[in-house]
Amino acid sequence: MSSLSQTNLPTIPGADLAGSRPIFPGLPGGKLANGLPLDDFAKKRLIFNHLGTPGQVHIYRADCAAGERLRAQLLVPVLTRGGTAVPAFALIGQSLPYSADAQQLPIELPKGYSAIVAPPPSKLLQPIEDVLTRARYYPGPVIDTRTLVGGRFYLAVWSPQNQMGKYAIQTGHRWPLAVTYWASIPYFWWQIRGWFGLDRSGAVGTVVGVALAGLMAAWLLKKK
């Protein structure tokens, strides 16, 4: 199991959306045992999901290597028709230094586990705009830590105020270099614009251009 240290407590900086693969998972489990598995927490991802009922908890999980950096940031989507949630989120592992934070969780932890909790922000500042999709987000708190040993790690998302609505969480720090990522950028653009309720009739040419530039960059990096 994971033991985490050298932790920066939640802060609210800007956000770096570039290189984040969007995922639109189904309903995650609400307990550690049935959390939604991800292949890792290192690759940059944007998780788009929806709290559908009051008190709902979403758990994501991945196996982490020793010394791995773990980063997660709340991004509050600016939706054209409303329906946004501003949830809390937490990183959960074994032997975390901030054990008192576990009292804020909506789930019970096994013995030896603790959590770093980022409560919902009390104030939403200036939104940022994604250059590619023109979708806007309020940047929320960040948790940034590292594992000491390898093992299972969890990301929990819930609303202490029992809000319902859409949320986004960015995880990871490592840019994707796979050609399939860059080739999929037009599809990602289509997915994200649709999730936000934004018009999808324009800017396809620009997206294709960005995808081609990314393919060329990935090819050059692999050649080196």
User: Which tens digit of pLDDT belongs to each residue from 53-92?
Assistant: 999 999 999 999 888 899 999 999 999 888 999 999 999 9
User: Which tens digit of pLDDT belongs to each residue from 24-62?
Assistant: 999 999 999 999 999 999 999 999 999 999 999 999 999
Report how far Cα 170 is from the mean position of its chain's Cα atoms.
3
- The mean pLDDT value for 14-28 works out to 90
Tokens of 179: 């050609």
User: Which tens digit of pLDDT belongs to each residue from 153-184?
Assistant: 999 999 999 999 999 999 999 987 777 888 88
The residues pairing with 76 across neighbouring beta strands, listed in sequence order, are 138
Domain boundaries, the chain: 3-171, 179-223
CB 150 within 8 Å of CB 65: yes
Residues 6+ apart with CB under 8 A from 39: 62
The DSSP secondary structure of 101-129, one letter per residue, reads GGGG-SSPPPTTEEEEEEPPPS-----EE
Pick from 149, 184, 166, 195: which is nearest to 56 by CA? 166
* Mean per-residue pLDDT of the chain: 85
Q: Of the segments 40-44, 74-78, 117-121, 209-213, which one has the largest average pLDDT value?
A: 74-78
Q: What percent of the chain stands above pLDDT 70?
A: 81
pTM of the model: 0.83
Pick from 154, 112, 2, 143: which is nearest to 65 by CA? 2
pLDDT at 196: 96
Question: Alpha-carbon distance 100 to 142, whole Å?
Answer: 18
The DSSP secondary structure of 42-105, one letter per residue, reads SB-EEEEEEE-STT-EEEEEEEE-TT-EEEEEEEEE--TT--B---EEEEEEET-S-GGGGGG-
pLDDT surpassing 60 at residue 215: no
Angstrom distances, CA of residue 91 to CA of 107, 171, 194: 13, 11, 29
The helix/strand/coil state of 213 is: helix
Pick from 169, 149, 147, 150: which is nearest to 158 by CA? 169
